[in-house]
Amino acid sequence: MITYVRKPIPDIGIDESAKRLTPEKIEKTINAVLKGTGARLKAYLETCVHCGLCSEACHYYLSHDKDPSYSPVAKVKMTLWEMVEKKGKVSADFIRQCSRIAYTECNRCRRCSLYCPHGIDIWYLMALVRRICLLLKVVPQYEMDTNYSHAATLNMMWLKQDDWIDTVQWQEEEVRMEYPTARIPFDKEGAEIMYTPIAPEPKFKPQLLAATAKIFHAAGVDWTMPSSDGWDNSDISMHVADFETMARVERKHFEAAVRLKVKRIVMCE
């Protein structure tokens, strides 16, 4: 018989927070999330014929020598199906396992949905599991930290506004060593495009900003970047299913574009 066997990996975010869970809290949270779902969950639960055709879509499955416990449907079976069947009466250990599966054994690439003959959105089902784990605060520490960064600073790297401005101006100087007329224009109202990087660029690889500036300079693009919040296009809150923070981050991003009256947003990556 195949079972779910994994080498234990300690993670404060998962292990320590799971210790604080009570059966009542787990049950209440799961049922609250499930109650908020509708036609999609119902159709997906009642349509899946457990055929396993989604397996070969998953790179986790393929890179673990086709271990069946990594197949997309198996991940749903070990998490959501069990929650639904037991009506939320599951243990804290089970939630720990769900968190590990949903956050570290599925990166929500959605290939499996394109392999499913029924078009079941397995990504959506894993998102529900992540949502439950998030509300129970059983999330890998690094991801939760990034989420808190979004909540506090609206970018994913705990960058403050002066860090951001300083880094960009430093890179502008670097570019101008090569192209004396090149600029990285902040807050230029009415520009053609607003360019937004992801926060690891100013944090770890600021030369990428200089490279972008060179490209825009050579192409003669009329561009700008916001100097205040909304300059980061990433949204890890979406990935950890903290939809409240996700919405704040997205709103700020679009509001920056509206404030600068640009025609379009161009994002890195």
Which residues contribute to the site for other proteins (CB under 8 A)? 2, 37-40, 42-44, 46-53, 55-57, 61, 66, 68-69, 71, 73-74, 77, 113-115, 117-121
Cβ 56 to other proteins, closest distance in Å? 7
Going along the chain, which residue ranges are E strands? 193-196, 223-224, 264-267
Compare residues 70 and 164 and give the one whose CB is closer to other proteins: 70
Give the residue with the Cβ less far from other proteins, 3 or 22.
3
Work out how close the CB of 70 gets to other proteins at its nearest, in angstroms, rounded to a whole number. Answer: 9
φ and ψ of 181, to 5 deg: -95, -5
- In the complex, minimum distance from the CB of residue 239 to other proteins, in angstroms, rounded to a whole number: 18
For residue 135, the one-letter residue type is: L
Quick one: 23 or 52, whose CB is closer to other proteins? 52
- On whether the CB atoms of residues 64 and 77 are closer than 8 A, the answer is no
Least distance to other proteins, CB of residue 2, Å: 5
- Considering the complex, what minimum distance in angstroms separates the CB of residue 86 from other proteins? 14
Q: Are strands 223-224 and 264-267 parallel, antiparallel or unpaired?
A: unpaired
Q: Report the alpha-carbon distance of residue 223 to residue 215 in Å, rounded.
A: 11
Closest approach of Cβ 252 to other proteins, in Å? 21
For the bound state, the minimum distance from the C-beta of residue 44 to other proteins, rounded and expressed in Å, comes to 7
Cβ distance to other proteins smaller for residue 43 or 221: 43
Contact 98, 129 (CB under 8 A): yes
Secondary structure string (H, E, C) spanning 190-248: CCCEEEECCCHHHHHCCHHHHHHHHHHHHHCCCEEECCCCCCCCCCHHHHCCCHHHHHH
Nearer Cβ to other proteins (47/63): 47
Nearest to 99 by CA among 125, 118, 126, 72: 126
Nearest to 153 by CA among 224, 209, 210, 235: 235
Whichever of 2 and 219 has its CB closer to other proteins, that residue is 2
CA 15 to chain centroid, in Å, comes to: 21
Backbone angles phi, psi at 175, to 5 degrees: -60, -40
Q: In the complex with other proteins, which residue's Cβ is closer, 53 or 165?
A: 53
Query: How do beta strands 193-196 and 223-224 pair?
Result: parallel
